[in-house]
Structure 1
Amino acid sequence: MRQYLGMASVRDLRLLPKAHLHLHFTGSMRSGTLLELADKYGVHLPDALSGGEPPKLRATDERGWFRFQRLYDMARSCLREPEDIQRLVREAAEEDLRDGSRWLEIQVDPTSYAPRLGGLIPALEIILDAVDTTVRETGLDMRVLVAANRMKHPLDARTLARLAVRYQHRGIVGFGLSNDERRGFARDFDRAFAIARDGGLLAAPHGGELAGPASVRDCLQDLRAARIGHGVRAAEDPRLMERLAQAGVTCEVCPASNVALGVYDSLEEVPLRTLWDAGVPMALGADDPLLFGSRLAEQYEIARRYHGFTDAELAELARQSVRASAAPEDVRDKLLLDIDAWLES
């Protein structure tokens, strides 16, 4: 671990303005909210979700990933009414604001909520209404990234891509692809991503977490990704890192979740320095705080404490998150100035 000096003068990372580009919908929930909703609907939660501590997970094998997905699905089953959705979105915004986020792109697969919210389109509209209300009430600039599920048929992804483009005017800014990247091929979803890109949406599929560098290359070649969800395994391939750096493709790196899911055994092993030294742009994200136990500011603290990132380097990480976002130019410019002000303070 690199040591950093001048502890008394280290700046508060919660005051560092930043963009948050990798946060999943149900995974953003507060644990206390989950307990209250489970009680409201009579849902019996396993100890892993009700014990007050993040569950012990290791998703690098099939059984581990199944357990992670089962816990996530159980938490999602407690979101049954529009007011539950509104509460989740508002609390996610409150947590982000507390951590210095000024721009949040929250990721959601509306098909997962459709059965309890009246169908696919009603579910998406309820989610977008909740985001609109939260933006007005909290002041956080918040947008939505619609994500297809890699475990479902590519035709479902095309339907979602068309729907995302149709509702772009309501604050949808991107299209993603989530779930176990070891399953299937990125190219199976190329048509869905073409629909999204042609409609003006940013392409941000997951890759390079549970699967290795090849999954990142597939996202670049087959899906023409502008951002990669996670992408840390690119550190195993110097040529791939060079390609990401030259193309300016940002990796949405989530250090705490990488360790929680067993991709790396310790926070020191997450290759933040390797990616940084290769010039790969990064946007730190919290992924699923409900299951991994830490939110956005803590990811920056990990970079500081375990990888020796200076305040100047942390400010540049924040700038990279802003540059990779879908924020309008005037919002980006203001954020970049505020980051400079944080560093000069």
Structure 2
Amino acid sequence: MVPKAEIHCHIEGAASPALIMTQARKYGVDTSDFLRDGAYHWTDFTSFLAAYDAAASLFRSEEDYALLAEDYLTSLAREGAIYSEILISPDHAERAGLSRIAYTNALGEGIARAQAATGITGRIVVTGVRHFGAAAVEDAARFAVACGHPLVTGFGMAGDERFGNVRDFAPAFDIAREAGLGLTVHAGEFGGWESVEAALNHIRPARIGHGVRAIENPDLVRRLADEGTVLEVCPVSNIVLKVFPDFARHPLPALVEAGCRVTLNSDDPPHFHTSIGNEYEVAQEVFGFDDAALAAFTRTAIEAAFIDAATRAALLEAMGDKTVAQ
């Protein structure tokens, strides 16, 4: 089994149907509107967001969130993953009636439990929600810097890429950058290639969440390759959400051929009927990448991870050991 790593997954969107059913029984909630026959059910982007929010609403306590992170990272480890970064949103904490720090501490506890049980290493990327406005994103950045949790090592921005001007969000990223957090931002999914260019110009992140629409501008693709900006590509998500009509027109192979630094990720896996293992299988069986290429995706993810040098070296060493042991 090729070792795997994932650096783009929204933790509330990673809740398995089985876990959601457990939570629904706990709180006496009817899930038939969005969960049927043991799987999420939605028909378009609007209903996807509704299903996402409905599932997220079933996590209401610190133990709920600890269980969520533990369950997800443990599932990753079963598929051969050695590293995970989860994207978290303080806004979810407030909706659940928890403080931001209680929410973050609970997710950190879940990561620690999964590591103790399986050996998987995990970190946390705090995200602001773009369509909530620049002030809200800056507030999220200030929390990421001030929370002091040792597993919070990155800051990012998710939400509707079509909302606002990227330059308005630059101050939030400056706050995170000055504090030494790694930076990533969603762009080039629904916002087109222009959103990737704007992110590079105004935010200067180490990584771009998705970034696949950059393929529409050859000059931008060359810039990404030249600057070494890492793309957090989520192939199955892109097809399910109709960013591209089918895998034949997905730009993953073209981006790799152009020299871009690419990783494989699952985004909101159970909602898209995928997993990190499935993403690697798709890369191999649909796109034709061999084991060496798959291992290169993992190596890129670890090299781009928001971790200290000692942790990175240990993961790369572990990856080598696992690869040799196959």
TM-score by length of structure 2 reads: 0.93
* Residue number in structure 2 paired with 1:290: 270
Task: Tell me how far 1:30 sits from its aligned partner.
Answer: 1.1
Query: What is the CA–CA distance in structure 1 between the aligned matches of 2:138 and 2:7, rounded to whole Å?
Result: 23
8 Å CA contact 1:311–1:343 kept in 2: the answer is no
8 Å CA contact 2:88–2:124 kept in 1: the answer is yes
8 Å CA contact 1:150–1:178 kept in 2: the answer is yes
* Residue number in structure 2 paired with 1:129: 109
* Residue number in structure 2 paired with 1:36: 22
Query: What is the CA–CA distance in structure 2 between the aligned matches of 1:239 and 1:43, rounded to whole Å?
Result: 51
Partner of 2:131: helix, strand, or coil? coil
Which is further off, 77-86 or 136-145? 136-145
| Equivalent residues in 2 for 1:268-307, closer than 5 Å | 268-307=248-287
Task: Tell me how far 1:137 sits from its aligned partner.
Answer: 4.1
Query: What is the CA–CA distance in structure 1 between the aligned matches of 2:151 and 2:316, rounded to whole Å?
Result: 22
With over 3 angstroms needed to count, the CA separation of the structure-2 counterparts of 1:191 and 1:180, relative to structure 1, is same
* Pairing 1:148–2:134 present: no
* Pairing 1:96–2:76 present: yes
Task: Tell me how far 1:289 sits from its aligned partner.
Answer: 1.2
Task: Tell me how far 1:247 sits from its aligned partner.
Answer: 1.0
| Equivalent residues in 2 for 1:56-71, closer than 5 Å | 56-57=42-43, 64-71=44-51
Query: What is the CA–CA distance in structure 1 between the aligned matches of 2:11 and 2:23, rounded to whole Å?
Result: 15
* Residue number in structure 2 paired with 1:165: 145
* Pairing 1:139–2:125 present: no
Query: What is the CA–CA distance in structure 2 between the aligned matches of 1:55 and 1:271, rounded to whole Å?
Result: 27
Partner of 1:308: helix, strand, or coil? coil
* Residue number in structure 2 paired with 1:330: 310
Equivalent position amino acid for 1:21 in 2: I
* Residue number in structure 2 paired with 1:72: 52
Deviations 1:292-334 (CA, angstroms, capped at 9, x unpaired): 1111111111111111111221121111111111233233334
* Residue number in structure 2 paired with 1:10: none
Partner of 1:229: helix, strand, or coil? strand
* Residue number in structure 2 paired with 1:309: 289
* Residue number in structure 2 paired with 1:120: 100
Partner of 1:307: helix, strand, or coil? coil
Task: Tell me how far 1:66 sits from its aligned partner.
Answer: 2.4
* Residue number in structure 2 paired with 1:25: 11
TM-score by length of structure 1 reads: 0.89
* Residue number in structure 1 paired with 2:41: 55
Query: What is the CA–CA distance in structure 1 between the aligned matches of 2:219 and 2:174, rounded to whole Å?
Result: 26
Query: What is the CA–CA distance in structure 1 between the aligned matches of 2:320 and 2:118, rounded to whole Å?
Result: 24
8 Å CA contact 1:103–1:327 kept in 2: the answer is no
Query: What is the CA–CA distance in structure 2 between the aligned matches of 1:139 and 1:117, rounded to whole Å?
Result: 32
* Pairing 1:253–2:251 present: no
Q: CA RMSD in A?
A: 1.8
* Pairing 1:224–2:204 present: yes
Query: What is the CA–CA distance in structure 2 between the aligned matches of 1:342 and 1:93, rounded to whole Å?
Result: 18
8 Å CA contact 2:42–2:51 kept in 1: the answer is no
8 Å CA contact 1:29–1:88 kept in 2: the answer is yes
Query: What is the CA–CA distance in structure 1 between the aligned matches of 2:283 and 2:155, rounded to whole Å?
Result: 28
* Pairing 1:210–2:196 present: no
With over 3 angstroms needed to count, the CA separation of the structure-2 counterparts of 1:327 and 1:101, relative to structure 1, is farther
- Percent identical pairs in the alignment equals 34
8 Å CA contact 1:21–1:106 kept in 2: the answer is yes
Equivalent position amino acid for 1:41 in 2: Y
Partner of 1:26: helix, strand, or coil? helix
8 Å CA contact 2:283–2:289 kept in 1: the answer is yes
Give 5+ residue unaligned stretches, structure 1. Answer: 1-14, 58-63
Task: Tell me how far 1:193 sits from its aligned partner.
Answer: 0.7
| Equivalent residues in 2 for 1:186-201, closer than 5 Å | 186-201=166-181
